[in-house]
């Protein structure tokens, strides 16, 4: 029996139960959707000319995912901003959503304080912290996440809260049936990925075993390009491994030119190509041609396409779940704790005590 099919290994290597958070992804979405039903927003928020989502890491990716899902239907530009200084376009016509699980992330707080001087249309999503205090100071709507986890493991909340805000402000139309169907399909898919299911039938375990010992480079286009970022960051934070992502079609104009040297790199990397049933046909063709080029250049690769069912939202959520499980199983194979991120914690502590002239 290999490691992943040994039930004892999970409790030992995962004392903070990251597995439980991954398994609760669909219930996080469901609970957040229900909790947000009573969340009210001022009617003047409906009028805006652009949208800026502030956040970092596990609290920013929800914004990327929602943006990629809806941007071809929304008449205003949506930008996800991960830095201290606010972009120059922000003015009283900008709708700002600040997302920070802890509420204490300094880049998000700094940008949010500038935003509050420029626009009266601000919203905060957080468990509390300084951002919650600022939301009281500036009297802006505050959605409190009531779910204890690592920020990245609360994605069901940070993603759904933004989706619901968009629905409430009539930025997008999304029906209750669409959400229900996505949750049902996600719950069913979860059963196919859990540790009880042996490697022979478990796609997530199979992918993790292929990655073991290699650097995963994740490629995706359109809605799955943002999911590729999620896979990459989950490999970094859960599996504690280096990982990169690339977007198609852009990668076809540069990245694939760089496959020649150093020669021994072939032994060290694996490409994961996320393929969507909703991709533009020319992007599908590009994915297949890219796979061919990888094969011709003797690189390891894995094409990842889940069974077709439901909407693009549903597909996106299932591919996120698959990636979360793969990163989790990879952590177990490397025998590292999937929850702890000592380098990130160390850096945050040092920043807090650093002297600033
Ligand atoms: C930790 C994680 C990080 C945090 C980031 C910002 O699980 O995912 O990427 O999300 O350091 O912190 P928060 O989310 O508290 O604003």
Nearest CA to ligand 1 atom 15: 102
Neighbours of 258 (CB within 10 A): 9
From the CA of 159, how far away is ligand 1's center (Å)?
Answer: 14
From the CA of 62, how far away is ligand 1's center (Å)?
Answer: 12
Mutate to test the pocket of ligand 1, among 102, 103, 131, 237 (most ligand atoms within 8 A of CB): 102
- CA 66/CA 313 separation, integer angstroms: 9
Q: Is 57 in the pocket of ligand 1 (CB under 6 A)?
A: yes
What integer pLDDT is reported at residue 356 of this predicted model? 74
Q: Is the pLDDT of residue 1 over 80?
A: no
Q: Are the CB atoms for 299 and 209 separated by under 8 Å?
A: no
What integer pLDDT is reported at residue 36 of this predicted model? 97
Q: Is 152 in the pocket of ligand 1 (CB under 6 A)?
A: yes
Please write the tens of the pLDDT for every residue from 259-314: 999 999 999 999 999 999 999 999 999 999 999 999 999 999 999 999 998 999 99
Q: Which residues contact 43 (CB under 8 A, 6 or more apart)?
A: none
Tell me what percent of the residues of the chain surpass a pLDDT of 90.
98
Q: Which of 30, 107, 226, 237 is catalytic?
A: 237
3-state secondary structure of 15: coil
- CA 23/CA 7 separation, integer angstroms: 16
- The residue behind tokens 């199979």 is 206
Ligand 1 atom with minimal separation from the 152 CA: 8
Q: What is the mean pLDDT of residues 70-84?
A: 97
* 130 assigned to active site: no
What integer pLDDT is reported at residue 357 of this predicted model? 63
pTM of the model: 0.98
Q: Is the pLDDT of residue 332 over 60?
A: yes
Neighbours of 93 (CB within 10 A): 14
Please write the tens of the pLDDT for every residue from 207-249: 999 999 999 999 999 999 999 999 999 999 999 999 999 999 9
Q: What is the mean pLDDT of residues 147-176?
A: 98
Ligand 1 atom with minimal separation from the 150 CA: 7
Of 8-12, 77-81, 211-215, 291-295, the least confident: 8-12
Please write the tens of the pLDDT for every residue from 129-144: 999 999 999 999 999 9
* 237 assigned to active site: yes
What integer pLDDT is reported at residue 355 of this predicted model? 75
Using alpha carbons only, give the angle 35, 39, 41 rounded to the nearest 5 degrees.
Answer: 160
CA 318 to chain centre: 12
């Amino acid at each position: 029996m290999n490691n992943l099919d040994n039930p004892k290994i999970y409790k030992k290597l995962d004392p903070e139960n990251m597995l439980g958070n991954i398994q609760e992804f669909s219930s996080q979405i469901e609970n957040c959707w229900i909790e947000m039903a009573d969340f009210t927003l001022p009617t003047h928020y409906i009028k805006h000319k652009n949208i800026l989502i502030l956040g970092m890491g596990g609290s920013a990716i929800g914004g990327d995912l929602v943006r990629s899902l809806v941007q071809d239907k929304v008449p205003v530009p949506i930008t996800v901003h991960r830095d201290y200084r606010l972009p120059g376009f922000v003015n009283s016509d900008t709708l700002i959503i600040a997302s920070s699980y802890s509420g204490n992330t300094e880049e998000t707080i700094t940008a949010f304080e500038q935003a509050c001087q420029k626009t009266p249309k601000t919203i905060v999503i957080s468990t509390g912290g300084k951002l919650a205090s600022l939301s009281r100071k500036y009297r802006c709507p505050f959605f409190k996440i009531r779910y204890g986890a690592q920020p990245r493991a609360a994605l069901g909340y940070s993603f759904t809260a933004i989706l619901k805000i968009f629905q409430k402000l009539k930025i997008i139309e999304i029906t209750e049936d669409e959400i229900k169907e996505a949750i049902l399909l996600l719950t069913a898919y979860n059963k196919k990925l859990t540790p009880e299911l042996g490697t022979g039938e478990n796609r997530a375990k199979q992918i993790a075993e292929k990655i073991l010992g290699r650097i995963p480079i994740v490629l995706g286009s359109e809605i799955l390009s943002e999911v590729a970022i999620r896979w990459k960051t989950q490999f970094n934070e859960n599996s504690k491994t280096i990982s990169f992502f690339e977007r198609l079609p852009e990668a076809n104009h540069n990245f694939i030119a760089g496959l020649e040297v150093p020669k021994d790199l072939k032994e060290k990397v694996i490409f994961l190509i996320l393929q969507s049933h909703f991709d533009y046909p020319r992007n599908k063709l590009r994915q297949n041609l890219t796979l061919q080029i990888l094969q011709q250049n003797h690189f390891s690769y894995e094409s990842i396409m889940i069974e077709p069912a439901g909407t693009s939202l549903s597909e996106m959520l299932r591919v996120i779940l698959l990636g979360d499980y793969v990163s989790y199983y990879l952590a177990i194979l490397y025998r590292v704790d999937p929850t702890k991120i000592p380098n990130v914690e160390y850096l945050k502590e040092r920043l807090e005590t650093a002297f600033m002239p």
